[in-house]
Amino acid sequence: MSRPRSKKNRPADGNPQLAQLRQDYEALKAQIQALGYVLPGSVQTRQYRCGKPSCRCMTQGLLHGPYVQWTRKVNGKTVNINLNPESAQTVQEWIQNNRKLRQLCHQLEKTSLKALHTSTNMDKS
């Protein structure tokens, strides 16, 4: 894995566009650093019909629930975990952090690509 050049050897020293890209990159890194915990998946509220012929869900149409669940993939399989209301709020925030992290990483990649094109004068394709 390559490491960023030290500050004294950075190619941005004479190029204002590269200097701006470096500032943008550092700002994105700071936003990532400020994020809290991250989790993949989603939080959903569900109601179920159990299927027992004598149950109220079958006779009266009153479904079981609502249940708040965290849904995610583990080794290619969908896993659901029931959550209490406090945990649901926490998990939802961490899922939002994960989405923000992915967005910020994508922006880091775009900024890095712009810096590469600017510093090497590559044709943009």
pLDDT in tens, 4-28: 555 544 544 578 999 999 999 999 9
Task: Name the residue with tokens 């993939």.
Answer: 73
Give me 75's structure tokens. Answer: 């080794």
Class of residue 21 by CB neighbours under 10 A (exposed 0-12, middle 13-18, buried 19+): buried
Determine the average pLDDT of the residues in 51-57: 92
Whole-model pTM?
A: 0.74
Residue 49, classed as helix, strand or coil, is coil
